[in-house]
Structure 1
Amino acid sequence: MASRFHKILKGDFLTQEGAAKNWRFILFMALLALIMIYTGHSFEKKVHRLSKLNDEVNELRSEFYDLENKLMFMQMESEVAKRLKESGIAPAQEPPQKIKIKLPVDGNNG
């Protein structure tokens, strides 16, 4: 058992007569390892990008709510009246009057 382990550590299995089979297997395993490393890095990169996009969405959502609150405040009648007062426009002192027009009932339109 110990001699077998020594042979493996020395690399005797790579220099023996049937070593071509071993080399192909080793290259295949190395290729699989490289593919695993690449996919792991690719996955990690996507996770970081997704996290960054989620942070950006949260920031934009909070900015939207902030602007929506400002707009609601700006649309209040008292705020509109303050801004219009600066330009010289004020609310009417008396209520508007209705204008009633009576049209003739006869069938002549013109």
Structure 2
Amino acid sequence: MKGGVYSLLKAKFLIEDDALKNWKFILFLILLAMIMIANSHRYEQKTYRITELTNEVKELRSEFVDRRSQLMELKMESTISKEMEPKHIFPSSVPPKKIRVAKEEKGVLQGLWQ
């Protein structure tokens, strides 16, 4: 036991004759650790990006609701009449009348020539 720990601390397994397979395994573990670190880093970046986009969506949604309410207010008849008063344009007191135009019946030949 004491000799095994001592040889491990002296790293004899790395300088012996069959040390190549040990080096390959150590390099594999290092590569695997680097891949795992890079993967966790990318995961954190994507999580932060998702949080930023979620906040931006909330902000844009509230701005949309605000603009829509402003538009509804601007479309109201009372607002329009207030805006037009300085130009001396007032709402009509007489309701509008519909103008109906009767369709003329055209024959097949008249439709072709015109």
State the distance in 2 between where 1:80 and 1:99 align: 25
Percentage of matched positions with identical amino acids: 44
Partner residue of 1:56?
A: 56
1:66-85 superposed Cα distances (whole Å, 9 cap, x missing partner) = 00111111111111110111
State the distance in 1 between where 2:33 and 2:101 align: 89
**Deviation above 6 Å: which 4+ runs of structure 1?**
98-102
Residue 99 of structure 1, CA deviation: 6.7
State the distance in 1 between where 2:14 and 2:98 align: 105
**What's the TM-score once normalised by structure 2's chain length?**
0.78
Partner residue of 1:46?
A: 46
State the distance in 2 between where 1:50 and 1:67 align: 25
Q: 5+ unaligned residues in a row in structure 2: which ranges?
A: 103-114
CA RMSD of aligned residues (A): 2.1
Q: 5+ unaligned residues in a row in structure 1: which ranges?
A: 103-110
Moved more, 23-32 or 38-47: 38-47
Residue 25 of structure 1, CA deviation: 0.3
Map 1:24-39 onto structure 2 (within 5 A). 24-39=24-39
Residue 34 of structure 1, CA deviation: 0.7
State the distance in 1 between where 2:34 and 2:98 align: 84
